[in-house]
Chain A
Amino acid sequence: MSEIVFKAVTKTFRLPKGGDFLAIDTTDLRIEEKEFVAIVGPSGCGKTTLMRMAAGLEFPSTGTVEVGGKTVRGPGPERAVVFQQFALMPWKTVRENIGFGLMCKGTPKAEADAAIARYVELMGLAGHEDSFPHQLSGGMQQRVAIARAYVMQPAALLMDEPFGALDAQTRIVMQEELVRLARRNPRTVIFITHAVDEAIYLADRVVVMGRKPGRIIETIDIRPLREEGGWEAMPIEEVMDQPAFTHMRSRIWKLLKAREQEKPAA
Chain B
Amino acid sequence: MVGVATVASALALWWLATSGLRLLNPLRLPAPHEVWTALRQIMGSGYAGATLWEHALHSLGLVARGFLVAVVTGVPLGLLMGWSRRAEALINPIFLLLRPIPALAWIPLAIVWFGLGDTGKVFVIWLTAFVPSVINSFTGVRNVDTVLIAAARTQGASTAQVLRHVVIPGSMPMIFTGLRLSLQASWTTLVAAELVGAFFGLGRVLNIAGQDIFPGMILVGMAAVAICGAGSTWLLGRLERRVLNWRAAV
- Residues facing B in A90-130 (CB within 8 A) are 90-92, 100-101, 104-105
A91 touches B147 (CB 8 A): no
Q: Which of B151, B165, B172 contacts A83 (CB 8 A)?
A: B151
Q: Is A140 an interface residue (CB 8 A)?
A: no
**How far, in whole Å, are A200 and B117 apart by their CA atoms in the complex?**
78
Q: Which of A79, A87, A89 contacts B165 (CB 8 A)?
A: A89
Q: Is A229 an interface residue (CB 8 A)?
A: no
Known: A57-B150, A104-B161. A91 touches B155 (CB 8 A): no
**How far, in whole Å, are A101 and B248 apart by their CA atoms in the complex?**
25
Q: Mark A74-91, 1 if CB is under 8 A from B, else 0.
A: 111101110101010111
B155 touches A148 (CB 8 A): yes
B153 touches A91 (CB 8 A): no
Q: Is B148 an interface residue (CB 8 A)?
A: yes
Report B96 CB to chain A, min CB distance, Å: 25
B166 to A, closest residue via Cβ: A89
CB-CB under 8 A from A90, the residues of chain B are 246-247
A101 to B, closest residue via Cβ: B155
A83 touches B147 (CB 8 A): yes
| Count, chain A residues at interface, CB 8 A | 26
**How far, in whole Å, are A152 and B157 apart by their CA atoms in the complex?**
13
Q: Which of B151, B157, B161 contacts A87 (CB 8 A)?
A: B151
Report B227 CB to chain A, min CB distance, Å: 33
Q: Is B156 an interface residue (CB 8 A)?
A: yes
CB-CB under 8 A from A75, the residues of chain B are 150, 153-154
* Interface residues of chain A: helix, strand, loop or mixed (majority): loop
A105 touches B147 (CB 8 A): no
- Residues facing B in A45-71 (CB within 8 A) are 55-57
- Residues facing B in A146-187 (CB within 8 A) are 148, 152
Known: A90-B246, A100-B165, A104-B161. A55 touches B152 (CB 8 A): no
Known: A75-B150, A85-B147. A91 touches B156 (CB 8 A): no
A158 to B, closest residue via Cβ: B154
Report B13 CB to chain A, min CB distance, Å: 46
Report A208 CB to chain B, min CB distance, Å: 26
CB-CB under 8 A from A80, the residues of chain B are 154-155
Report A98 CB to chain B, min CB distance, Å: 10
Q: Is B6 an interface residue (CB 8 A)?
A: no
Known: A132-B246, A134-B246, A134-B248. A89 touches B148 (CB 8 A): yes
Total number of A-B contacts with CB less than 8 angstroms?
65
Q: Is B211 an interface residue (CB 8 A)?
A: no
A77 touches B150 (CB 8 A): no
**How far, in whole Å, are A135 and B247 apart by their CA atoms in the complex?**
9
B150 touches A87 (CB 8 A): yes
Q: Is B108 an interface residue (CB 8 A)?
A: no
Q: Is B158 an interface residue (CB 8 A)?
A: yes
CB-CB under 8 A from B76, the residues of chain A are none
**How far, in whole Å, are A77 and B154 apart by their CA atoms in the complex?**
6
B151 to A, closest residue via Cβ: A87
A100 touches B155 (CB 8 A): yes
B156 touches A76 (CB 8 A): yes
B246 touches A91 (CB 8 A): yes
Known: A91-B172, A134-B248. A104 touches B151 (CB 8 A): no
Report A73 CB to chain B, min CB distance, Å: 12
Q: Is B169 an interface residue (CB 8 A)?
A: yes
Q: Mark B53-85, 1 if CB is under 8 A from A, else 0.
A: 000000000000000000000000000000000
B147 touches A87 (CB 8 A): yes
A interface residues (Cβ-Cβ under 8 A, vs B): 55-57, 74-77, 79-81, 83, 85, 87, 89-92, 100-101, 104-105, 132, 134-135, 148, 152
A-B contact pairs, 13 of them (CB 8 A): A57-B153, A57-B154, A77-B155, A77-B156, A80-B154, A81-B150, A85-B147, A89-B148, A89-B166, A89-B169, A90-B246, A101-B156, A104-B155
Shortest beta-carbon contacts, A-B, top 8? A77-B156, A101-B155, A87-B151, A134-B248, A91-B169, A75-B154, A91-B246, A104-B156
